[in-house]
Amino acid sequence: MATHQDILAGVVQKVVEELMGKTSSLPEDFKGIYDRVEDAVENAVKAQRELIGLPLKVRDKMIAAMRRAVLDNNQMLSELAIRETKLGRYEDKIRENILCATKTPGTEDIQPLAITGDDGLMLLEYAPVGVVGALTPITNPTGTFIHNGISMVAAGNAVVFNPHPSARETSTRIIEILHQAIVDAGGPVSLIAAIRKPTLDTARQLIAHSKINMLVATGGKPVVKVVLSSGKKAIGAGAGNPPVLVDETAHIRRAAECIVNGASINNNIFCTCEKEVIVVDEVADSLIKFMQETGRAYLLSAEEAQKVTNLVVNEKGKINISYVGRDVQVILKAVGIEVDEACRLAIFEAPKDHPLVWLEQMMPVMPIVRVKDVHQGIRFGVEVEQGNRHTAIMHSTNVDHMTAFARAVQTTIFVKNGPAYAGIGLGGEGHTAFTIAGPTGEGMTSARSFTRQRRCTLVEGFRII
Ligand code: NAD
């Protein structure tokens, strides 16, 4: 027997079909990839209308299927991402995809709020925004799609991605997989889609399209600025330069291990990774010694550090992108240094004005700056974070010190006594996000970030106490 919910869903579906027409013009074997922005958006509008006509239990099934499909295809996706972009490490891509598939919240994130009182009932619901236009970075060509895809669909939206042009193949593959999972679970065709040959021009078309209701940019500062200037509701998740501060009260060996692990995961391409160490002079020698003792960090001499700097920072003072995300062996070999296979990170002592302290290097080469005391360390940490409001890390056992740095630095993520990746839920509590919106303030985004609030008021009724 049909339930009340099924009957209601049928009625909504019929209205939607009459209003919009179905996405039936698509070929049988359609996989979510479009040549034209216009077609992608038009069909996303229809798919989103279909989605809101379906019961929530179907949406939950779709999300479960998306998670499963990622896990089933993880090896292939990780290999492809490394082969195409040459950024990161295979074993870390595997971890990234598992993290996104399992720790991105689903529809539980959009639970409504009800308030009752003398005047009746107020219901607040997190409603879909409609169609989201999303721009994704080269650094996480699988993680961003998995996290954004699950979150945006859980919120009841459709999404059209304009992937990074240099991660086109991987992006196409992950979209095909997510699209198929949605359709197989009974969801609409074309709810999740991407542009086949993304360019800056297709990005501009997507941004300007009148039927795109929200923009989400995950990338560097320029693209965040572009979406924030669009006149549309936009989420900007921009660059970071996370400092890690170690004071004299820290468990130094543990701090050393956490920093080596955190700064070397995926060859430092996560925007959250530790990018420079600031250490109180009194414990600096021990920290460096313990980092070396992990067997995974190579200490560069002053002369070697200069050679590496000349290699990875170009004459214009910018990062040489040929070395972004590459293995430490590849970077060091280019200046004639051989390190064994177990090595994951090159470290060196640097003055405060060293370019790698200030640039977002995104490679496993890590400057270490000594400071006189924790107060100087906090002030310097705030300076090098440069107001990105992104991520900072501290190793200390002094609560006052940690509170002082957290208050001063004002980052979206502040990790205490762990690797930076604990802050995105890898070995730390809380959900994951691969769109960390510091500039616009949504923080670790999740389904709720891609909604709009709607209120329903019932006067003088429904209070049952
Ligand atoms: P990027 O800014 O070069 O590109 C990101 C996306 O924006 C791409 O799809 C690109 O094609 C598009 N784009 C760039 N300029 C544009 C413009 N003017 N108009 C329209 N579209 C434009 O970034 P990237 O090199 O791919 O990724 C690395 C950067 O992203 C780093 O700075 C990193 O910190 C940041 N990032 C941030 C987060 C976060 O959650 N905050 C996550 C991952 C990466």
Closest CA to 418 of 431, 402, 407: 402
How far is 102 from 270, CA to CA, in rounded Å?
A: 18
Q: Is the per-residue pLDDT at 24 higher than 80?
A: no
296 vs 276, 291, 329, CA distance in Å?
A: 17, 8, 11
Q: How far is the CA of 232 from the centre of ligand 1 (A)?
A: 18
Query: How is residue 170 written in tokens?
Result: 């991987």
Q: How far is the CA of 217 from the centre of ligand 1 (A)?
A: 7
Query: How is residue 366 written in tokens?
Result: 């890590």
Ligand 1, atom 26, lies closest to the CA of 137
How far is 412 from 445, CA to CA, in rounded Å?
A: 11
The answer for residues whose C-beta is within 8 angstroms of residue 48's C-beta and 6 or more apart is 128, 130, 131, 156, 157, 158, 188, 191
How many CA atoms lie within 13 Å of 23's alpha carbon, on the beta-carbon side? 27
Q: How far is the CA of 22 from the centre of ligand 1 (A)?
A: 34
137 vs 24, 322, 407, CA distance in Å?
A: 32, 16, 30
464, burial (CB in 10 Å: exposed 0-12, middle 13-18, buried 19+): exposed
Q: How far is the CA of 308 from the centre of ligand 1 (A)?
A: 25
Ligand 1, atom 9, lies closest to the CA of 164
| Mean pLDDT along residues 349-366 | 98
The string of pLDDT tens digits covering residues 386-415 is: 999 999 999 999 999 999 999 999 999 999
Task: Name every protein residue with a CB atom under 6 angstroms from any ligand 1 atom.
Answer: 135-140, 162-165, 200, 203, 217-220, 222-223, 226, 237-240, 271, 360, 434-436
Confidence of residue 13 (pLDDT cuts 50, 70, 90): low
Atom of ligand 1 minimally distant from the CA of 219: 30
| Cβ 188 vs Cβ 51: under 8 Å | yes
| Cβ 345 vs Cβ 260: under 8 Å | yes
Q: Could you tell me which residues are beta bridge partners of residue 425?
A: none
The DSSP output letter for 48 is H
How many CA atoms lie within 13 Å of 456's alpha carbon, on the beta-carbon side? 9
The string of pLDDT tens digits covering residues 61-90 is: 999 999 999 999 999 999 999 999 999 999
The secondary element (H helix, E strand) that includes residue 414 is: strand 413-416
Atom of ligand 1 minimally distant from the CA of 198: 11
- 291 three-class SS: helix
The string of pLDDT tens digits covering residues 364-391 is: 999 999 999 999 999 999 999 999 999 9
| Cβ 145 vs Cβ 161: under 8 Å | yes
Ligand 1, atom 30, lies closest to the CA of 219
Query: How is residue 425 written in tokens?
Result: 């839920």
The pLDDT value recorded for residue 60 is 98
Ligand 1, atom 36, lies closest to the CA of 219
Ligand 1, atom 10, lies closest to the CA of 164
Atom of ligand 1 minimally distant from the CA of 139: 27
The pLDDT value recorded for residue 461 is 79
| Cβ 152 vs Cβ 442: under 8 Å | no
409 vs 235, 359, 415, CA distance in Å?
A: 21, 17, 12
Total residue length of the chain: 465
Residue to probe by mutation, ligand 1, list 37, 85, 86, 223, most atoms within 8 Å of CB: 223
Confidence of residue 28 (pLDDT cuts 50, 70, 90): confident
Total-model pTM = 0.95
Q: How far is the CA of 223 from the centre of ligand 1 (A)?
A: 6
Ligand 1, atom 14, lies closest to the CA of 223
Q: How far is the CA of 146 from the centre of ligand 1 (A)?
A: 17
Q: How far is the CA of 389 from the centre of ligand 1 (A)?
A: 16
Confidence of residue 465 (pLDDT cuts 50, 70, 90): confident
Q: How far is the CA of 134 from the centre of ligand 1 (A)?
A: 11
In this predicted structure, which of 24-33, 139-148, 186-195, 361-370 has the lowest mean pLDDT? 24-33
Q: Is the per-residue pLDDT at 155 higher than 70?
A: yes
